[in-house]
Amino acid sequence: MWSCERTITTSTPASAIWAQYEDVATWPAWNPGFESVRLTGPFRTGTTGTVRAQGQGDAPFTLLDVVPGTAFVMETEVGGGVLARSSCSVTALPDGGSQVAHRTELIGDGAAAMGAAAGPMLTANLETGLKALASAA
């Protein structure tokens, strides 16, 4: 297994961050690793879709553990028996802002090697994406 996590605190309200999460068509605007994202239904647990990473083909994904307004997990197979699991959460703060956390895990045989090879890019995308998400919202 390989993982990385980044968290930011922003003045952007949690509801605005959540609106960006639910509107998957906006994900490429704030996630530098995505070209497109599509869902087959509403943003809820069990809904499937496709994601196209930069320079890659479409990959199917499933939304897991969606807690409206708070958190979700997205899982996709990235090849070689490795699953990529992205956990995203937003917490409202008393001052009206929010804390936003994104975690990426690679799971399965070959995950450690894939993480070693792709880890710097994945980690950079987490940091860049969080800042862009807060700005876009």
Q: Which CATH class, in words, describes the domain spanning 2-136? A: alpha beta
- How confident is the prediction along the chain (137 residues), in pLDDT tens digits per residue? 888 899 999 999 999 999 999 999 999 999 878 899 999 999 999 999 999 887 888 999 999 999 999 999 999 888 788 888 999 999 999 999 999 999 989 998 888 887 778 767 667 777 888 889 998 88
pLDDT for 81 = 86
Distances (CA, A) of 30 to 36, 113, 133: 11, 27, 5
Radius of gyration for the alpha carbons in the chain, expressed in angstroms and rounded: 14
Name 7's Cβ contacts closer than 8 Å, sequence gap at least 6: 99, 100, 101, 102, 130
Domain ranges in the chain?
2-136
